[in-house]
Protein backbone atom coordinates (compact mmCIF):
# COMPACT_ATOMS: atom_id res chain seq x y z
CA UNK A 1 0.00 0.00 0.00
CA UNK A 2 1.12 3.57 -0.59
CA UNK A 3 1.48 5.84 2.43
CA UNK A 4 -0.75 8.36 0.66
CA UNK A 5 -3.53 5.74 0.52
CA UNK A 6 -3.08 4.92 4.21
CA UNK A 7 -3.19 8.62 5.11
CA UNK A 8 -6.42 9.08 3.19
CA UNK A 9 -7.98 6.02 4.88
CA UNK A 10 -7.06 7.54 8.24
CA UNK A 11 -8.70 10.86 7.32
CA UNK A 12 -11.88 9.10 6.21
CA UNK A 13 -11.86 6.90 9.32
CA UNK A 14 -11.67 9.91 11.64
CA UNK A 15 -14.73 11.41 9.95
CA UNK A 16 -16.63 8.10 10.06
CA UNK A 17 -15.84 7.54 13.75
CA UNK A 18 -16.86 11.11 14.59
CA UNK A 19 -20.16 10.59 12.72
CA UNK A 20 -20.84 7.60 14.99
CA UNK A 21 -19.67 9.50 18.11
CA UNK A 22 -16.80 7.09 18.68
CA UNK A 23 -13.83 8.92 20.20
CA UNK A 24 -10.23 7.77 19.96
CA UNK A 25 -7.61 8.46 22.67
CA UNK A 26 -5.62 11.72 22.30
CA UNK A 27 -2.41 9.98 21.17
CA UNK A 28 -4.27 8.59 18.14
CA UNK A 29 -3.88 12.03 16.55
CA UNK A 30 -0.14 12.35 17.10
CA UNK A 31 2.12 12.66 14.09
CA UNK A 32 5.80 11.70 13.80
CA UNK A 33 6.90 14.94 15.52
CA UNK A 34 4.85 14.14 18.64
CA UNK A 35 6.10 10.56 18.70
CA UNK A 36 9.69 11.77 18.51
CA UNK A 37 9.23 13.61 21.82
CA UNK A 38 8.10 10.61 23.92
CA UNK A 39 10.02 7.83 25.62
CA UNK A 40 9.40 4.81 27.83
CA UNK A 41 6.10 6.20 29.10
CA UNK A 42 4.44 4.96 25.89
CA UNK A 43 5.88 1.44 26.14
CA UNK A 44 2.43 -0.10 26.65
CA UNK A 45 1.23 1.45 23.39
CA UNK A 46 4.18 0.28 21.33
CA UNK A 47 4.82 -3.14 22.85
CA UNK A 48 1.13 -4.14 22.83
CA UNK A 49 0.69 -2.73 19.30
CA UNK A 50 -2.10 -0.35 20.19
CA UNK A 51 -3.31 2.15 17.62
CA UNK A 52 -3.84 2.40 13.89
CA UNK A 53 -3.86 -0.80 11.85
CA UNK A 54 -4.65 -0.71 8.13
CA UNK A 55 -4.12 -3.69 5.85
CA UNK A 56 -4.99 -4.83 2.35
CA UNK A 57 -3.85 -8.40 3.16
CA UNK A 58 -1.42 -8.15 0.26
CA UNK A 59 -4.25 -7.74 -2.26
CA UNK A 60 -3.21 -4.28 -3.53
CA UNK A 61 -6.93 -3.48 -3.52
CA UNK A 62 -8.01 -2.20 -0.10
CA UNK A 63 -11.63 -1.57 -1.12
CA UNK A 64 -12.04 -5.18 -2.28
CA UNK A 65 -9.97 -7.00 0.34
CA UNK A 66 -8.82 -4.99 3.33
CA UNK A 67 -9.66 -3.80 6.82
CA UNK A 68 -9.33 -0.73 9.02
CA UNK A 69 -8.72 -1.41 12.71
CA UNK A 70 -7.72 0.61 15.76
CA UNK A 71 -6.55 -1.36 18.80
CA UNK A 72 -7.65 0.45 21.94
CA UNK A 73 -6.33 -1.94 24.58
CA UNK A 74 -4.31 -5.15 24.62
CA UNK A 75 -1.79 -7.11 26.64
CA UNK A 76 1.21 -9.24 25.77
CA UNK A 77 3.09 -12.21 27.19
CA UNK A 78 6.07 -10.24 28.51
CA UNK A 79 5.51 -6.96 30.36
CA UNK A 80 1.71 -6.78 30.27
CA UNK A 81 0.69 -10.39 30.96
CA UNK A 82 -1.83 -9.32 33.64
CA UNK A 83 -3.93 -7.61 30.98
CA UNK A 84 -5.73 -10.63 29.54
CA UNK A 85 -8.18 -8.79 27.29
CA UNK A 86 -8.19 -6.65 24.16
CA UNK A 87 -10.53 -4.26 22.38
CA UNK A 88 -10.60 -3.01 18.80
CA UNK A 89 -12.80 -0.81 16.69
CA UNK A 90 -13.04 -1.65 12.99
CA UNK A 91 -14.56 -0.13 9.87
CA UNK A 92 -15.84 -2.67 7.34
CA UNK A 93 -16.91 -1.33 3.96
CA UNK A 94 -19.56 -2.77 1.66
CA UNK A 95 -18.30 -5.96 -0.04
CA UNK A 96 -14.84 -5.37 1.47
CA UNK A 97 -13.63 -8.82 2.48
CA UNK A 98 -11.56 -9.78 5.47
CA UNK A 99 -10.35 -13.19 4.22
CA UNK A 100 -11.08 -16.55 5.85
CA UNK A 101 -9.04 -17.16 9.01
CA UNK A 102 -9.14 -18.45 12.55
CA UNK A 103 -7.25 -17.80 15.79
CA UNK A 104 -5.54 -20.63 17.66
CA UNK A 105 -5.92 -19.07 21.11
CA UNK A 106 -8.07 -15.97 20.95
CA UNK A 107 -11.79 -16.03 21.66
CA UNK A 108 -13.54 -12.88 20.48
CA UNK A 109 -16.91 -11.18 20.38
CA UNK A 110 -17.59 -9.29 17.16
CA UNK A 111 -20.21 -6.55 17.56
CA UNK A 112 -22.01 -4.57 14.87
CA UNK A 113 -21.92 -1.09 16.44
CA UNK A 114 -23.81 0.62 13.63
CA UNK A 115 -24.26 1.15 9.91
CA UNK A 116 -25.13 -1.71 7.58
CA UNK A 117 -25.36 -5.46 8.04
CA UNK A 118 -22.18 -7.32 8.99
CA UNK A 119 -22.02 -10.64 7.14
CA UNK A 120 -19.83 -13.39 8.63
CA UNK A 121 -19.29 -16.74 6.90
CA UNK A 122 -18.33 -19.57 9.26
CA UNK A 123 -16.69 -23.00 9.25
CA UNK A 124 -14.91 -25.04 11.88
CA UNK A 125 -11.41 -26.26 11.15
CA UNK A 126 -10.51 -29.89 10.55
CA UNK A 127 -7.45 -31.25 12.43
CA UNK A 128 -5.41 -30.52 9.28
CA UNK A 129 -6.75 -26.91 9.24
CA UNK A 130 -9.01 -27.37 6.24
CA UNK A 131 -12.65 -26.22 6.09
CA UNK A 132 -14.84 -28.79 7.82
CA UNK A 133 -18.32 -29.69 6.56
CA UNK A 134 -19.45 -30.26 10.15
CA UNK A 135 -22.28 -28.02 11.45
CA UNK A 136 -21.53 -25.36 14.06
CA UNK A 137 -23.16 -24.02 17.19
CA UNK A 138 -22.49 -20.32 17.75
CA UNK A 139 -23.52 -17.83 20.39
CA UNK A 140 -25.33 -14.80 18.95
CA UNK A 141 -26.10 -12.24 21.65
CA UNK A 142 -25.93 -15.05 24.22
CA UNK A 143 -28.32 -17.32 22.31
CA UNK A 144 -27.04 -20.66 20.97
CA UNK A 145 -27.76 -21.02 17.26
CA UNK A 146 -27.09 -24.10 15.10
CA UNK A 147 -25.86 -23.38 11.58
CA UNK A 148 -24.50 -25.36 8.64
CA UNK A 149 -20.87 -25.19 7.52
CA UNK A 150 -20.38 -22.19 5.25
CA UNK A 151 -23.53 -20.43 6.37
CA UNK A 152 -23.45 -16.63 6.52
CA UNK A 153 -24.63 -15.01 9.75
CA UNK A 154 -26.00 -11.50 9.22
CA UNK A 155 -25.58 -9.21 12.20
CA UNK A 156 -27.85 -6.18 12.27
CA UNK A 157 -26.64 -3.10 14.21
CA UNK A 158 -26.51 -3.97 17.91
CA UNK A 159 -26.03 -7.70 17.34
CA UNK A 160 -22.90 -9.67 18.22
CA UNK A 161 -21.40 -13.12 17.79
CA UNK A 162 -18.82 -15.05 19.82
CA UNK A 163 -16.07 -16.66 17.72
CA UNK A 164 -14.12 -19.44 19.41
CA UNK A 165 -10.59 -20.69 18.56
CA UNK A 166 -10.28 -22.75 15.36
CA UNK A 167 -13.53 -21.30 13.99
CA UNK A 168 -12.85 -20.08 10.46
CA UNK A 169 -14.53 -16.77 9.61
CA UNK A 170 -14.53 -14.16 6.89
CA UNK A 171 -16.65 -11.03 6.86
CA UNK A 172 -17.84 -8.03 4.86
CA UNK A 173 -20.53 -5.35 5.10
CA UNK A 174 -23.83 -5.32 3.26
CA UNK A 175 -25.95 -2.24 2.50
CA UNK A 176 -23.65 0.37 4.02
CA UNK A 177 -20.35 0.64 5.86
CA UNK A 178 -20.32 -0.98 9.32
CA UNK A 179 -18.75 0.21 12.54
CA UNK A 180 -17.58 -3.01 14.19
CA UNK A 181 -16.33 -3.63 17.70
CA UNK A 182 -14.14 -6.48 18.89
CA UNK A 183 -13.81 -7.53 22.53
CA UNK A 184 -11.47 -10.47 23.00
CA UNK A 185 -8.72 -12.26 24.80
CA UNK A 186 -5.23 -10.83 24.23
CA UNK A 187 -4.58 -10.28 20.54
CA UNK A 188 -1.36 -11.43 18.83
CA UNK A 189 -1.47 -10.80 15.09
CA UNK A 190 2.09 -12.05 14.61
CA UNK A 191 1.53 -15.62 15.89
CA UNK A 192 -2.15 -16.41 16.50
CA UNK A 193 -3.70 -16.02 13.04
CA UNK A 194 -4.17 -18.85 10.56
CA UNK A 195 -5.36 -17.61 7.16
CA UNK A 196 -6.88 -20.20 4.85
CA UNK A 197 -5.20 -18.54 1.88
CA UNK A 198 -1.62 -17.32 1.78
CA UNK A 199 -2.14 -13.63 2.58
CA UNK A 200 -0.10 -10.93 4.29
CA UNK A 201 -1.49 -9.66 7.60
CA UNK A 202 0.63 -6.49 7.48
CA UNK A 203 0.98 -4.63 4.19
CA UNK A 204 4.24 -3.56 2.63
CA UNK A 205 4.26 0.25 2.52
CA UNK A 206 5.53 2.46 -0.27
CA UNK A 207 6.56 5.76 1.31
CA UNK A 208 5.28 8.23 -1.27
CA UNK A 209 4.40 11.01 1.22
CA UNK A 210 4.89 11.97 4.85
CA UNK A 211 3.26 9.86 7.58
CA UNK A 212 0.03 11.32 8.95
CA UNK A 213 -0.37 8.95 11.94
CA UNK A 214 1.92 6.01 12.69
CA UNK A 215 0.51 2.51 12.23
CA UNK A 216 1.13 -0.03 14.96
CA UNK A 217 3.56 -1.81 12.64
CA UNK A 218 5.47 1.49 12.17
CA UNK A 219 6.59 1.54 15.82
CA UNK A 220 9.48 -0.82 15.16
Full DSSP string of 32-95: HHHHTT--GGGHHHHHTT-EEEEE-TT-S-TTTB-EEEEEEE---SSTTTT--EEEEEEEE-BT
Residues 119, 154: contact at Cβ < 8 Å? yes
Distance CA 192, CA 144 (A): 26
Percent of the chain with pLDDT over 70: 100
CA distances from 70 to 39, 40, 54, 136, 166 (A): 22, 21, 8, 29, 24
Query: Rounded to an integer, what is the distance from CA 59 to the centroid of its chain?
Result: 16
Distance CA 45, CA 219 (A): 9
Closest to 69 measured CA to CA, from 78, 61, 57, 60: 57
pLDDT at 43: 95
The reply to whether the predicted model has a pTM over 0.75 is yes
**Mean pLDDT of all residues in 66-72:** 98
- How do residues 75-111 score in pLDDT, each as one tens digit? 998 889 899 999 999 999 999 999 999 999 999 999 9
pLDDT at 204: 87
The helix (run of H) or strand (run of E) holding residue 3 is helix 3-19
pLDDT at 78: 82
At the topology level, CATH places domain 3-218 in Jelly Rolls (2.60.120)
Instruction: Decide which of 94 and 200 is more confident.
Output: 94
Amino acid sequence: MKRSEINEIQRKAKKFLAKHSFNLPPWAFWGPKEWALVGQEVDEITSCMLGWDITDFGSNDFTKRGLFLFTLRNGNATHYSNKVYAEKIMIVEVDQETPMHFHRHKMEDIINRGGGVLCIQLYVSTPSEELSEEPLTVSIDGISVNIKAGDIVRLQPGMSICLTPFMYHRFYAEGETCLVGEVSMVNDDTLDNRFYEDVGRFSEIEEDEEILHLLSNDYK
